[in-house]
Amino acid sequence: MSNRIKKTSLLLGFALTVFGVFNFANTAQAIAINKCIRVIHNPQVSRETLVNTCSKCITAKIKRRRPGSATGTPTQREFNLQPGSHLLLPFKGPGQTRITSELPCPFGR
C-alpha cells in the first residue's frame, strides 16, 4: 500500500514540475511577443530604425554601445513614438543598439 502512495506522489510531483516549466516558458514568450518597439537594421545606410507596432504612444529608452570607445560608456537616449510610426535613429556606423525599456508616453505629449 505505501509503495502505491509513493508512486502516486512521485507522479504527481513530476506532473506539477512539468506544468510549472511550461507555464514559465509561456510567460517568457508572452513577454517577448508583447513588446511594442522593434529595432530594424538597414545595411544600405548603416543605420537603424525604431518601429512602434502597437496602437498606443510608447516612450522607448535605448542604449547604444560603440566598439573601440575609450571610456566604454554607452549613449542613452529616450524617444516618443506615436502608434504605427517609425524613427530613423541618429546613430551612424558600427555599434550595438538595445532597447532598455518601453513605457506608455506621459500625459500631455
Residues 28 and 55 in one domain: no
| Full domain range(s) for residue 9 | 1-34
**DSSP run (H or E) holding 98:** strand 96-104
Looking up cell 507596432, which residue turns up?
53
Q: What percent of the chain has pLDDT over 70?
A: 62
Both 41 and 30 in a single domain?
no
Convert the pLDDT of each residue in 38-71 to its tens digit.
999 888 777 899 999 999 999 999 999 888 766 7
63 shares a domain with 40: yes
User: At 51, which helix (H) or strand (E)?
Assistant: strand 47-52
Q: Please give the mean pLDDT across all residues of the chain.
A: 76
Q: Are residues 41 and 19 in the same domain?
A: no
Q: Which tens digits make up the pLDDT trace of 9-24?
A: 655 555 555 455 444 4
Please state, in angstroms and as integers, the Cα–Cα distance from residue 36 to each residue in 51, 55, 105, following that order.
Answer: 8, 9, 12
Higher pLDDT, 108 or 83: 83
